[in-house]
Chain A
Amino acid sequence: GENVEQHPSTLSVQEGDSAVIKCTYSDSASNYFPWYKQELGKRPQLIIDIRSNVGEKKDQRIAVTLNKTAKHFSLHITETQPEDSAVYFCAASKMYVEYGNKLVFGAGTILRVKS
């Protein structure tokens, strides 16, 4: 089955700097790659996702890149702000017509933005 590895496990950056979190996946059939953000004491929420027919996707200060050949994808946050402090999870899935996604998550990255 699918296996997703996520690095680093913790990341501290100064406010205004960029943050990059990387994930690798094992199943070449996976074609959907979402990122979830979980603030302290709250539920995970989707912040951005990418499908395998696209190499990069941006949404304001966040972007995700995908390298299908190398089977890795990354989350980029620019101009970090204190409210970006959270745990970030990457995930990978093959889309199934019957039930959509069966996500396999990475272990998570604790991002701390120091002001």
Chain B
Amino acid sequence: DVKVTQSSRYLVKRTGEKVFLECVQDMDHENMFWYRQDPGLGLRLIYFSYDVKMKEKGDIPEGYSVSREKKERFSLILESASTNQTSMYLCASGYYEQFFGPGTRLTVL
């Protein structure tokens, strides 16, 4: 079974804090993705990586950056968290089918 795990299910941070969300997959996938999920907006792609050395901006990259130091690990970084970044964050990996992690519900106060 493909397993995609995320470091936290729930996270509460303060405005201005630096936030790290981590994702690990065990299927040797080259491709990994970060989405945010908001009611009525579906899943929107923040960043993706199709190689350890390659990272690409998605549709809503502003306020985020990513790190991929190892093939199995893809981290999303909120440089200075803001209240409008309160959301559910989903990591995924895969080439055709994308396998999702359980999500991290981030609240920024």
Which residues of B14-56 have CB atoms within 8 Å of chain A's CB atoms?
A: 30-31, 35, 40-45, 48, 50-51
Would you call A1 and B59 a contact (CB within 8 A)? yes
Q: How large is the interface on B (under 10, 10 to 19, 20 to 34, 35 or more residues)?
A: 20 to 34
Task: Give complex CA distance A24, B30 in Å.
Answer: 29
* 18 new A-B contacts at CB < 8 Å, known A9-B40, A104-B45, A105-B42: A42-B102, A43-B4, A43-B90, A43-B100, A44-B90, A44-B100, A45-B100, A46-B98, A99-B50, A99-B95, A100-B94, A101-B98, A102-B48, A105-B43, A106-B42, A107-B40, A107-B42, A108-B40
Q: Which residues of the partner chain A approach B100 to less than 8 Å between Cβ atoms?
A: 43-45
**Interface residues contributed by chain A, number (CB under 8 Å):** 24
9 contacts between A and B (CB under 8 A): A43-B102, A43-B103, A45-B100, A99-B30, A99-B48, A99-B51, A101-B95, A107-B41, A107-B42
| A binding-site residues for B, Cβ under 8 Å | 1, 4, 6, 9, 32, 34, 42-46, 49, 89, 98-108
